[in-house]
């Protein structure tokens, strides 16, 4: 009897132990599932920031400047490359220096576009029911605009000296298209450079394509910079337009086709690329000397020469930084995030373009006032 009772107790103990084990196991599984779910939720809520890598970890196609040692993005997806515009890495300031330059030139283009009679007409037509500016209330068509300009000139003439009275003001302002060609070329260069610096970390294929667009942008900016001075200086002797603008365009086409080769996009050919771009810039010395002789007595000559010399100085010093990779070669790793040569080069390019913009305004104001009749060529 006793043995029967013992075996019954033993059986029920075993049974309850097995049930306990099952319950514990179930509880543990439940906790594991819950923990997994929670950690997954946390990962989803807070995506891990993609790590920046050092020069030695870069794929071969990205090894361009060994003096910049850290904070590289390598093979990043396009979306993350796009949002990295708001994150610190060694291209952040390269992107922003030209993005700000682009926004600046976009603003200048808009400010000048609304002064073009046809555009002013369009804006005034759209805003006629809701006048937004003093101008919209005064003038509603290009005829009024031109007459206004003429009236201002006539009033000015009452206050000028007799020698200045000899110069009759033209009836219509000089055409603006060469000025807008330069503004468009500058915007194209600054925007393509911004895009290149932002996305070239994505893949080797995209890197090569973006570098080509970047070099094309630089070439387009150089060619289009020639349009305002050549057009307005030689406006009354237009065969020079074909010689100088044709010459620089041919040089630009040669440059772009030469740089299409992937080998020439590498760091080894940095100085060769700088030489190609600089020769295009130095080509400008020929029409500058020619234009100075043609307009020897023009009081505005020295002002435009000062602006254009400042532009030349900015571009040449920018090229020197680009080729020598100073200051990072002096202290490798010190200028990874801020102050390295490419950022300085970008700032100098924007300053050079602004100096050229200043010169172009002087050319425009002079041609508007003088026209063609009083120029000796
Ligand atoms: Zn650049």
Separation of alpha carbons 281 and 309, rounded Å: 12
Paired tokens of 123: 């804006």
Separation of alpha carbons 313 and 235, rounded Å: 27
Secondary structure, 3-state, 38-77: HHHHHHHHCCCCCCCECHHHCCHHHCCCCCCCCCECCCCC
Q: Rounded to the nearest whole angstrom, what is the distance from the C-alpha of residue 345 to the centroid of ligand 1?
A: 8
Q: Rounded to the nearest whole angstrom, what is the distance from the C-alpha of residue 195 to the centroid of ligand 1?
A: 10
Q: How far apart are the first and last CA of the chain?
A: 136
CB 181 within 8 A of CB 227: yes
Q: Rounded to the nearest whole angstrom, what is the distance from the C-alpha of residue 214 to the centroid of ligand 1?
A: 8
DSSP helix/strand/coil, 131: coil
CB 65 within 8 A of CB 267: yes
Query: What are the sequence ranges of the domains in the chain?
Result: 93-116+176-370
Paired tokens of 320: 């020197």
Q: Rounded to the nearest whole angstrom, what is the distance from the C-alpha of residue 343 to the centroid of ligand 1?
A: 8
Paired tokens of 114: 């609304």
Give the pLDDT of the chain (377 residues) as one tens digit per residue.
444 455 554 555 555 555 555 555 555 555 554 555 444 444 455 567 889 999 999 999 999 999 999 999 999 999 999 999 999 999 999 999 999 999 999 999 999 999 888 888 888 888 776 555 444 444 444 444 333 333 333 334 444 444 444 455 545 788 999 999 999 999 999 999 999 999 999 999 999 999 999 999 999 999 999 999 999 999 888 899 999 999 999 999 999 988 888 888 888 899 999 999 999 989 989 998 998 888 777 778 889 889 999 999 999 999 999 999 999 999 999 999 999 999 999 999 999 999 999 999 999 998 888 887 544 33
CA-based angle 299:300:303, to the nearest 5? 120
Q: Rounded to the nearest whole angstrom, what is the distance from the C-alpha of residue 128 to the centroid of ligand 1?
A: 44
**Residue 227 vs residues 183, 232, 234, 356, 357: alpha-carbon distances, Å:** 10, 8, 11, 11, 12
Q: Rounded to the nearest whole angstrom, what is the distance from the C-alpha of residue 344 to the centroid of ligand 1?
A: 10
Separation of alpha carbons 254 and 219, rounded Å: 10
- Residue spans of beta strands (DSSP E) within 140-263: none
Helix axes 204-233, 341-370, angle to 10 degrees: 30
Q: Rounded to the nearest whole angstrom, what is the distance from the C-alpha of residue 218 to the centroid of ligand 1?
A: 9
Q: Residue 376's pLDDT is what?
A: 39
DSSP secondary structure, 328-354, as one string: TTTSTTTSTTTT-HHHHHHHHHHHHHH
Closest C-alpha to 67, from 329, 321, 271: 329
CB 230 within 8 A of CB 240: yes
Separation of alpha carbons 308 and 229, rounded Å: 10
Any idea which fold 93-116+176-370 has? Rhopdopsin 7-helix transmembrane proteins (1.20.1070)
Q: Kindly give, in sequence order, each residue whose CB lies less than 8 Å from that of residue 88, ignoring residues fewer than 6 positions away.
A: 71, 337
Q: Residue 126's pLDDT is what?
A: 84
Q: Which residues surround ligand 1, an ion (CB under 5 A)?
A: 193
């Amino acid at each position: 009897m006793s043995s029967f009772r013992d075996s019954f107790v033993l059986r029920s103990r075993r049974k309850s132990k097995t049930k306990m084990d099952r319950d514990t196991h179930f509880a543990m599984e439940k906790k594991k599932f819950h923990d997994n779910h929670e950690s997954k939720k946390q990962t989803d809520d807070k995506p891990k920031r993609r790590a920046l890598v050092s020069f030695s970890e870069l794929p071969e196609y990205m090894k361009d400047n060994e003096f910049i040692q850290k904070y590289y993005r390598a093979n990043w997806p396009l979306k993350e490359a796009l949002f990295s515009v708001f994150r610190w890495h060694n291209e952040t300031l390269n992107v922003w220096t030209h993005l700000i330059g682009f926004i600046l030139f976009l603003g200048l283009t808009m400010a000048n576009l609304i002064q073009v009679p046809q555009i002013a007409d369009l804006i005034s037509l759209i805003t006629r029911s809701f006048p937004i500016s003093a101008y919209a209330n005064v003038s509603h068509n290009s005829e009024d605009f031109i007459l206004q300009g003429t009236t201002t000139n006539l009033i000015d003439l009452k206050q000028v000296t007799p020698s200045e009275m000899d110069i009759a003001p033209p009836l219509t302002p000089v055409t603006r298209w060469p000025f807008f060609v330069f503004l468009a070329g500058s915007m194209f260069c600054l925007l393509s450079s911004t895009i290149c610096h932002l996305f070239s970390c994505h893949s080797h294929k995209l890197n090569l394509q973006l570098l080509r667009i970047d070099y094309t942008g630089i070439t387009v900016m150089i060619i289009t910079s020639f349009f305002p001075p050549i057009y307005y200086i030689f406006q009354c002797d237009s065969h020079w337009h074909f010689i100088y603008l044709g010459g620089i365009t041919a040089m630009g086409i040669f440059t772009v086709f030469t740089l299409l080769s992937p080998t020439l996009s590498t760091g080894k050919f940095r100085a060769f690329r700088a030489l190609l771009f600089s020769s295009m810039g130095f080509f400008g010395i020929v029409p500058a000397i020619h234009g100075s002789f043609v307009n020897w007595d023009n009081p505005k000559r020295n002002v435009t020469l000062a602006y254009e010399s400042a532009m030349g100085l900015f571009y040449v010093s920018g090229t020197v930084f680009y080729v020598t990779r100073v200051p990072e070669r002096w202290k490798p790793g010190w200028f990874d995030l801020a102050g390295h040569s490419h950022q300085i080069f970008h700032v100098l390019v924007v300053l050079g373009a602004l100096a050229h913009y200043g010169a172009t305004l002087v050319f425009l104001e002079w041609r508007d006032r003088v026209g063609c009749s009083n120029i000796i060529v």
